[in-house]
Amino acid sequence: MGVPFIAVRGLLHSDILKHRPDLLVKENPFNSGEPVVVAQPIRPDVAVFHAVQADRWGNVITPGHRDDLMMARAARWVIVTAEEIVENKLTRRDAGDDTFLPAIDVDVVAHVPLGAHPGGFGSLSEHDDRHCREYIAAAKGESSFSVYLERYVYGVHGHQEYLERVDAATRQAKG
């Protein structure tokens, strides 16, 4: 929207206001005496999306009915990974029930099949509960988390090797 701030209902007398300098209580200029919360816009430096399809111009289809377009427009830099890069130019009509991000709102597109892992991705792949449990267990301590990061983030060259390590861990867990 590009507005300097926006008024929000509710939130008054919530402890959220004690910890969020971007939320202020002001008097409603159209109704004197009424306090109202105003919020500073969130302008992320980067937003990252995983898409069903993308084309070489940066047109993108993300799954389902979502707020992706709002988030893409809020961010200064938009990176999209996609299951598939298609040859033809994508249009709004190709999105059907899914969400269309036009090229003007997208900066970078990369081909990364299974890029949503360990998240599920519509009908294409299921949420990986086992890997999430491994992550949660590792995240409980500094040293176990370092081991996790070394195994799945710093110690792999690219997404393919990451997926191979996930597969190996899954096979090992199944015995």
Interface contacts to other proteins, rule CB under 8 A? 8-16, 18-19, 33-36, 65-70, 99
Contact in structure between 84 and 121 (CB atoms under 8 Å): no
Give the E-state strand segments of 28-160 in sequence order.
35-39, 46-55, 60-62, 77-86, 99-101, 108-111
Min separation Cβ 97 and other proteins, Å:
9
Nearest-angstrom CA–CA distance, 171 and 167: 6
Nearer CB in complex with other proteins: 26/66? 66
Nearer CB in complex with other proteins: 39/79? 39
Min separation Cβ 33 and other proteins, Å:
6
Min separation Cβ 60 and other proteins, Å:
16
Min separation Cβ 99 and other proteins, Å:
8
Contacts of 115 (CB under 8 A, 6+ apart): 50, 81, 82, 83, 159
Nearer CB in complex with other proteins: 49/112? 49
- Tokens 């200029």 correspond to 29
Nearer CB in complex with other proteins: 99/112? 99
- The side-by-side arrangement of strands in the sheet containing 35-39 is 6-8, 35-39, 23-27
